[in-house]
A and B are shown apart, each in its own frame.
Chain A
Amino acid sequence: MTSSLHDLTLLEARALLDQRQVSSLELTQALLARIEAIEPQVHAYLTVTTELALDMARAADQVLAQGQGGPLTGIPAGIKDVICTQGVATTCASKILAGFVPPYDATLVARLKAAGMVLLGKHNMDEFAMGSSTENSGFFTTHNPWDLAAIPGGSSGGSAASVAAGSALFAVGTDTGGSIRQPASHCGVVGLKPTYGLVSRRGLVAFASSLDQAGPLARTVADAAQVLSVIAGHDPADSTSAPRPVPDYTAALERGVKGLKLGVVQEFFAAGLDPEVEAAVRAALTVLQAQGAELVEVSLPHTDYALPVYYIIAPAEASSNLARYDGVKYGLSLRAPQGDLMDMYLDTRSQGFGPEVIRRIMLGTYALSAGYYEAYYGKAGQVRTLIKQDYLDAFQQVDALLGPVAPTPAFDIGQKTGDPLQMYLSDICTLSVNLAGLPGISVPCGLAASGRPIGLQIIGPHFAEETLLAVGHAYQQASDHHLRRPPL
């Protein structure tokens, strides 16, 4: 074996486990050793479940010894800390949920466990998934394994950094406005945000309920397909879950791009796009063209309005969802000796939430308040219709859309923390995909001169994950960006 166990892709590890060339215990111990070695620099995990992981690995080895097992049996992975794991602390990187131990597994976690996953721990994130850099974590900032001075992206920054650094073979994150795709892009890994409703949201702590969606972060598109096949599917316990059969995503990988019409979104290449990002993405487009895809220019005329629409709708939904943190049922509860119920609400919420969460609760409460509801929330809902219609029109002409994931490579830690609006602009190419409920994937397509990764975004019609996976996989067959590892 030329590489270390922690450098394996999920499918390489799968093959070694199935051939009994390596046990899950050996693999899990290798990953735990990797975590111990690099966590002091990367800080990707909020919780490492060492004993649980070793127990799950031993159980997986017993299953494998009997010639049985599921697609993930014995594979060590990490889960974003916004997803409930029974018996394992789930904090959303917020002080208000410090110490919260869920009494049940999220549906997607139950599915991963049923498929045999070994849980290594919970990944750091921006508090309540609000942010683009993981600097909003209530506990500590995650560093980009490619350049420790850089942000890993966010909000699933811990997950992306961990997969890139080899401290998990895959991860599951969530994406409300780009929170899987943007950190995947910044850390040089694959990140797939499925169609709204494809993966159950039960047990996913709500940020913006009409936008939130969980999906895989992995080393390769083929690995992401393997994970998606496990977590996708209808859940009667989530009323917004799509009641439709789940295709075999791994079977779609080999379809190729010959005969596909792919749209290049003009607005995503507008002013403000970093020249190195543009060059890397355009080079990726020619790779796909050489493989037989037809490229056509496409316009999404309302692209510029996605940012204001998103920053009305997401905070509005968040202000409502986060009303549940009141010091009554779980988490932080500050009760002054002579205080009444209102004091408890005020003290708990003001001290439990970090600055970005408070900012968004304030924005959302304002946008929903009497006198402003129509001007903000009402208007945003109407423009959301126009944004979605742009996409539906584009998909009349093309099978999928292409563009960058983020307008620049990862910026420096601390660079944008003083200016929320500048921070919001880093999600400009991803927000509209959530507003329209579409699937999108980020695939590594190069490195900037600084050594920081760049990602290609592929966006498809509702429930066209198979097309995204086929395009992404075809690209990875003809490129080697996903094979590079950070110098760590």
Chain B
Amino acid sequence: MKISAAEVAHVAALARLRLSDEQSEKLTEQINDILAAMDRLNELDTSGVPSTNHALELTGAMRPDQVAPGLDHQRALANAPASDGQSLVVPKVI
């Protein structure tokens, strides 16, 4: 499969990235090189093969529902670029 410049722009928008024309052009070329290497997977017939999303068979981890201390407001907001002491502050949304 090959990715077009328009698809690169679409994917950048999905990923919330703003790319310069030069960046887009270079990425289109590099991603196509990488995708060509990925296409090798089509040599394999995987019909009926289950997917592995985790290498170990994991089951839901359960623990008793007990209240434990967590981060307080002050520490949770200590790294915030902007806050009013109680909440994170962000630019205009609508």
Task: Give residues in A with beta carbon < 8 Å to B.
Answer: 100-101, 103-104, 195-197, 210, 236, 239-243, 302, 304-305, 307-309, 311-312, 319, 323, 326-333, 335, 339-347, 349-350, 353, 358-359, 361-363, 365-366, 369, 372, 375-376, 378-386, 388, 420-421, 424, 434-438, 462
Q: Which residues on the B side are within 8 Å of A309 (C-beta)?
A: 41
The answer, among A196, A307, A385, for a CB contact under 8 Å with B49, is A385
A-B contact list, 21 entries, CB within 8 Å? A195-B56, A240-B58, A242-B56, A302-B44, A308-B37, A308-B38, A308-B41, A309-B41, A327-B81, A328-B81, A329-B79, A331-B81, A340-B93, A349-B15, A350-B19, A359-B30, A361-B15, A382-B46, A383-B44, A420-B33, A462-B56
**Closest Cβ–Cβ distance, residue B70 to chain A (whole Å):** 10
Q: Are A369 and B14 in contact (CB under 8 A)?
A: yes
Q: Which residues on the A side are within 8 Å of B82 (C-beta)?
A: 333, 335
Task: Give residues in B with beta carbon < 8 Å to A.
Answer: 1, 3, 7-8, 10-12, 14-19, 23, 27, 30-31, 33-34, 37-42, 44, 46, 49-56, 58, 60-61, 63, 71, 75-76, 78-82, 88, 90-93
Q: Which residues on the A side are within 8 Å of B10 (C-beta)?
A: 369
Q: Are A196 and B56 in contact (CB under 8 A)?
A: yes
Decide yes or no: A311 and B34 within 8 Å by CB, A197-B56, A328-B81 being known contacts.
yes
Q: Which residues on the A side are within 8 Å of B17 (C-beta)?
A: 346, 349-350, 353, 358, 361-362
Q: Are B88 and A328 in contact (CB under 8 A)?
A: yes
| Least CB separation from B81: chain A residue | A333
Q: Which residues on the A side are within 8 Å of B49 (C-beta)?
A: 382-383, 385-386
Decide yes or no: A103 and B76 within 8 Å by CB, A210-B54, A339-B91, A346-B18 being known contacts.
yes
Q: Which residues on the A side are within 8 Å of B23 (C-beta)?
A: 358
Decide yes or no: A330 and B12 within 8 Å by CB, A363-B31, A366-B7, A384-B52 being known contacts.
no
**Closest Cβ–Cβ distance, residue A474 to chain B (whole Å):** 27
Q: Which residues on the B side are within 8 Å of A372 (C-beta)?
A: 1
**Closest Cβ–Cβ distance, residue B64 to chain A (whole Å):** 9
Q: Are A104 and B71 in contact (CB under 8 A)?
A: yes
- Total CB contacts across the A-B interface at under 8 A: 169
The answer, among A241, A330, A341, A424, for a CB contact under 8 Å with B92, is A341
Q: Which residues on the B side are within 8 Å of A196 (C-beta)?
A: 54-56
**Known A341-B93, A362-B8; 13 more pairs at CB < 8 Å:** A196-B54, A210-B53, A240-B56, A311-B34, A328-B88, A328-B90, A344-B91, A346-B17, A363-B34, A366-B31, A375-B1, A382-B50, A382-B52
Going nearest first, the 8 A-B pairs with the smallest beta carbon separation are: A437-B55, A381-B51, A333-B81, A330-B79, A382-B46, A239-B61, A103-B75, A346-B18
Q: Which residues on the B side are within 8 Å of A362 (C-beta)?
A: 8, 11-12, 15, 17, 27, 31
Q: Which residues on the A side are within 8 Å of B93 (C-beta)?
A: 340-341
**Closest Cβ–Cβ distance, residue A205 to chain B (whole Å):** 13
| Least CB separation from B12: chain A residue | A362
Q: Are B46 and A311 in contact (CB under 8 A)?
A: no
**Closest Cβ–Cβ distance, residue A348 to chain B (whole Å):** 9
Complex: A155 Cα to B64 Cα, angstroms: 37
**Closest Cβ–Cβ distance, residue A178 to chain B (whole Å):** 15
| Least CB separation from B47: chain A residue | A382
Q: Are A210 and B55 in contact (CB under 8 A)?
A: yes
Complex: A333 Cα to B83 Cα, angstroms: 12
Decide yes or no: A340 and B91 within 8 Å by CB, A326-B16, A366-B31, A421-B34 being known contacts.
yes
Q: Which residues on the B side are within 8 Å of A353 (C-beta)?
A: 17
Q: Which residues on the A side are within 8 Å of B33 (C-beta)?
A: 420-421
Q: Are A383 and B46 in contact (CB under 8 A)?
A: yes
Q: Are A329 and B56 in contact (CB under 8 A)?
A: no
Q: Are A330 and B40 in contact (CB under 8 A)?
A: no
Q: Which residues on the A side are within 8 Å of B92 (C-beta)?
A: 340-341
Complex: A319 Cα to B12 Cα, angstroms: 11
Q: Are B81 and A330 in contact (CB under 8 A)?
A: yes
Complex: A103 Cα to B18 Cα, angstroms: 31
Q: Are A100 and B79 in contact (CB under 8 A)?
A: yes
**Closest Cβ–Cβ distance, residue B11 to chain A (whole Å):** 5
Q: Which residues on the A side are within 8 Å of B15 (C-beta)?
A: 319, 349, 361-362, 365
**Closest Cβ–Cβ distance, residue A169 to chain B (whole Å):** 31
The answer, among B39, B75, B79, for a CB contact under 8 Å with A331, is B79
Q: Are B78 and A101 in contact (CB under 8 A)?
A: yes
Complex: A241 Cα to B11 Cα, angstroms: 33
| Least CB separation from B93: chain A residue | A341
Q: Are A388 and B55 in contact (CB under 8 A)?
A: yes
Q: Which residues on the A side are within 8 Å of B53 (C-beta)?
A: 210, 381
Q: Which residues on the B side are within 8 Å of A331 (C-beta)?
A: 79, 81
Q: Are B52 and A381 in contact (CB under 8 A)?
A: yes
Complex: A83 Cα to B17 Cα, angstroms: 26
Q: Which residues on the A side are within 8 Å of B81 (C-beta)?
A: 327-328, 330-333, 335
Q: Which residues on the B side are within 8 Å of A328 (C-beta)?
A: 80-81, 88, 90
| Least CB separation from A103: chain B residue | B75
Complex: A380 Cα to B38 Cα, angstroms: 9
Decide yes or no: A312 and B51 within 8 Å by CB, A103-B78, A319-B15, A365-B14 being known contacts.
no
Q: Are B11 and A365 in contact (CB under 8 A)?
A: yes
Complex: A2 Cα to B75 Cα, angstroms: 48
Q: Are B44 and A312 in contact (CB under 8 A)?
A: no
